[in-house]
Structure 1
């Protein structure tokens, strides 16, 4: 990673008020970031948070998975429906989400936030299949990278609700890009702020690096291929959710560096459009407090 937490000029004084994680949440985060953890061990640690278990069971029974039969215990949900890698990623997102009460930021739509995050994660995971440039990253790392990409927005909605609210109102009326306006007003992007959060909570360095370097188009480190993929996936997600145009430059870079075809990208766009309603139902459960 190029740099460290101290290298970002933290003009946003409220960042010192980032909440500490409860002990149970710390144990859960450690478990989901243990590569070879067993289902039984993971289940026992996730059970430290009944609210998290209830949320995961809700996800297993949601329209997104459309199993038919009701799943009533977490081990079955992991083994038969969600899968170990997906549970790890979803548990990570849920644990982080519950730390932030975003209700004071009236314009912040938690369900839409998680819908776009999930669509980004799914897009990245689908596009990564068979890409030799991404062989150094597991499918769950790709998915989690997409899920955490905009986690700084949650922190802002919690720490600076009035300021973020005014930015969202202004951008809604003017058509300005929210991310660009955040960077203009605060002096750093929400990706950089997300990096500070992940750094404080000591999440794996791969996710810290993705956020720290997201805006550096000339970054040439180990995570470059994954950054290229996530930039494309983020645009696909925005296109599906709000009709935002997909930047041709982002597509061109991804097609060149990852050897992606436009047909592969079009297939993912088609899948996202067909499954958005189911993803929205998943996001509604993830965004609950």
Structure 2
């Protein structure tokens, strides 16, 4: 490792130690979100602590993806009639992170692409999990949140080290190297590890910490393994669908066999996702603002 790369890694690790503290309102909201079987009324009351969060959730509830012609004007209606408890909990968590990390100083950071990829991964995982017995131990909102939080480390880098992340984007565009590999090479650790650092500091549920900490660990054998495999499949699937490329089912065969997910389900889901891309883009635009 040369001196320049070593210094960059040391600076990057040092900056992580300076991650902002969450506002009190956000801490209270996250605590409620991650409380099992929370009554909808208590969730609505907690969300109301953040007018900005409520406005964003109402924007989502009135988007083309969800509203279907209805006009939703209050958070309780959004939860009861449009989004549902599980989805509100997952989206609220993601919005809190997005608001906390302003990435506008990072040239080349495409917030809309970031969120359409995260949302597509989350939706894919939740839909595929329905017919996979191994994943029934996880709630739908847990699976959805796992997809949304998967790339949270990129948001952290865009906020803390915008110039360094921009350099990674430029290099990857020139060389065709995947961004995740560019980050690992440039920063000395993956964005999944950086995301894990954030979740641990903010005391988010251990499950999400485990998912990020072991996302690239091929020797992991914990009870979370089926969910890890599903998220790996769905992240690659989302990239392919968003790019408009054709699905090569053979690329998913080994992992799908491990979790007993029929390849026909992957093909069917890919077609559904492609049809829903315009609505998902509008949804991602709201998330990224």
Q: TM-score, normalised by structure 1?
A: 0.94
Q: Which residue does 1:5 correspond to in 2?
A: none
Three-state SS of the structure 1 residue aligned to 2:169 is helix
Please give the per-residue CA displacement for 1:217-244, whole angstroms capped at 9, x wherever unaligned: 1210011000000000000110112256
What is the deviation of 1:174? 1.6
Superposition CA RMSD, Å: 1.7
What is the aligned length? 281
**Where does structure 1 lack aligned partners over 5 or more consecutive residues?**
1-8
Whether the 8 Å CA contact 1:235–1:247 is kept in 2: the answer is no
What is the deviation of 1:94? 0.2
* Correspondence 1:82-161 to 2 at 5 A: 82-161=83-162
Return the alpha-carbon distance in structure 2 between the equivalents of residues 10 and 243 of structure 1. Answer: 38
What is the deviation of 1:257? 1.0
The structure with higher relative contact order (CA 8 Å, sep 6+) is 1
Q: TM-score, normalised by structure 2?
A: 0.94
What is the deviation of 1:75? 0.3
Return the alpha-carbon distance in structure 2 between the equivalents of residues 260 and 69 of structure 1. Answer: 35
Return the alpha-carbon distance in structure 2 between the equivalents of residues 285 and 128 of structure 1. Answer: 26
Structure 1 residues 82 and 277, CA, compared in 2 at 3 Å: closer, same or farther? same
Whether the 8 Å CA contact 1:231–1:250 is kept in 2: the answer is no
What is the deviation of 1:11? 5.6
**Where does structure 2 lack aligned partners over 5 or more consecutive residues?**
1-9
Q: Which residue does 1:6 correspond to in 2?
A: none
Whether the 8 Å CA contact 2:253–2:263 is kept in 1: the answer is no
Whether the 8 Å CA contact 1:118–1:147 is kept in 2: the answer is yes
Q: Which residue does 1:178 correspond to in 2?
A: 179
What is the deviation of 1:20? 0.6
Whether the 8 Å CA contact 2:41–2:76 is kept in 1: the answer is yes
Whether the 8 Å CA contact 2:153–2:192 is kept in 1: the answer is yes
